[in-house]
Amino acid sequence: GAVVSQHPSRVICKSGTSVKIECRSLDFQATTMFWYRQFPKQSLMLMATSNEGSKATYEQGVEKDKFLINHASLTLSTLTVTSAHPEDSSFYICSATKPDRGSVNTEAFFGQGTRLTVV
Amino acid sequence: EDQVTQSPEALRLQEGESSSLNCSYTVSGLRGLFWYRQDPGKGPEFLFTLYSAGEEKEKERLKATLTKKESFLHITAPKPEDSATYLCAVRASNSGYALNFGKGTSLLVTP
C-alpha cells in the first residue's frame, strides 16, 4: 500500500528557533498534501493544504508567516515552524492523497507524525 | 457547517465482546467517509473508505457500514491488540481533498 514518511518523529527545540518537518510520499506522486495538528486527546485539525508548485492554502486562524509550507516536488512537502514558542508544542501530522487507479476516488494516507516540544 | 460526531468517547470491552462504534455526520456533498486507527504517538493508520450509503467493507475483525447520516465500525470478537483510538473523517464536496475529523473513540480491550 501507499506509504507516507514523516521526519523527524520527535524534536525538541528552544523557544525562538525554527524547526523543519518533512513529509514524503514514498511510492506515489502527491500533487496535494495536508498538514494537521493534534493536541492531546483531541482530534486532527487541518492547518493547511500544500500544493505542488504553488502557494499553500491556510485554514482560518493559522498564521502563514509562522507555519511556512513548501511543496517543491511531487513527493515532498515541508512545514517549518518559525520562531517557535511553547504554545506551538503539539503533534504535527502530514497526509497525502493517492488516486485510486481507474476511479475518481482517492485514499488519504498519513505520516507517522512529529512530536514538537518547544522549551 | 460540516460536522462529525463520534460516540462513545471511550469504550472498554472484554476480549471477545463484540460492539460497534458510531460516527454521525452532516456534510454538504459527501465524497467519502474514512475510518482510521490511531495508536498513541503515531499517525492515523488507514482502515476503510466508504463512498455511498449501503456500502460495507471488512478487514479482519472490523466491518464498516454507511448510511446517509452515519457510519458504524463493527468490531467482532476483539482482541487486546485492537485497543486504539478509532477516528472517523469525512471529505466534503467543497473541501477539496481535506478531511474533517471527529474526536475519536478510545477503545480498550482487556484480556
8 Å CB contact between A31 and A96 = no
Please give the Cα distance from A4 to A21 (Å, whole number): 13
Kindly indicate the confidence band of residue A2, based on its pLDDT and cuts at 50, 70 and 90: low
| Number of alpha carbons in the 13 Å side-chain half-sphere of residue A20 | 7
Kindly report the number of other CB atoms within 10 A of residue B33's CB atom: 25
Bridge partners, B57 (sequence order):
B64
Min CA distance, B45 vs chain A (Å)? 7
Q: How confident is the model over B15-49, as pLDDT tens digits?
A: 999 999 999 999 988 989 999 999 999 999 999 99
Q: How confident is the model at residue A104 (pLDDT cuts 50, 70, 90)?
A: low
Q: How many CB atoms lie within 10 A of CB B17?
A: 13
Q: Indicate the pairing of strand B3-7 with strand B19-26.
A: antiparallel
The strand pair at B105-110 and B10-14 is best described as parallel
pLDDT confidence band for A103 (50 / 70 / 90): low
Pull the grid cell for residue B108.
480498550
B66-111: per-residue pLDDT in tens? Answer: 999 999 999 999 999 999 999 999 998 877 788 999 999 999 999 9
Residue A99 has a pLDDT of: 66
Three-class secondary structure of residue B5 per DSSP: strand
| Interface with B, mutate which of A42, A47, A110, A112 (most B CBs under 10 A) | A110
Do A43 and B49 make contact, defined as CB atoms within 8 angstroms?
no
Q: How far is A91 from chain B (nearest CA, A)?
A: 8
In this predicted structure, the answer to whether residue A94 has a pLDDT above a threshold of 80 is yes
Q: For residues A10 and A117, what is the distance between their CA atoms, to the nearest angstrom?
A: 8
Percent share of chain A, pLDDT over 70: 92
**What are B50's three cell numbers?**
466508504
Give the per-residue pLDDT at A8: 97
Is the separation of the CB atoms in B61 and B79 below 8 Å?
yes
A42:B103 CB<8 A: yes
Chain B contact present for A107, CB below 8 A: yes
Query: What's the gap in Å between the CA of B26 and the closest CA on chain A?
Result: 17
Distance (Å) of CA B106 to CA A1, A49, B39, B50, B57: 26, 28, 10, 21, 21
d(Cα B63, Cα B60) in Å, to the nearest integer? 8
Percentage with pLDDT > 90 across chain A: 68
Averaged confidence pLDDT in chain A = 90
Distance CA A58, CA A64 (A): 7
CA B15 to chain centre: 20
In chain A, which among 54-83 make CB contacts under 8 A with chain B? none
User: Above 80 in pLDDT, residue A66?
Assistant: yes
Chain A residue numbers touching B43 (CB-CB < 8 A):
4, 6, 93, 110-113
pLDDT of residue A101 exceeding 80, the answer is no
Three cell numbers, residue B28: 454538504
**Rounded mean pLDDT, B2-27:** 96
State the pLDDT at residue A100: 61
**Which position has the higher pLDDT, A102 or B19?**
B19
Q: Which residue has the higher pLDDT, A104 or B75?
A: B75
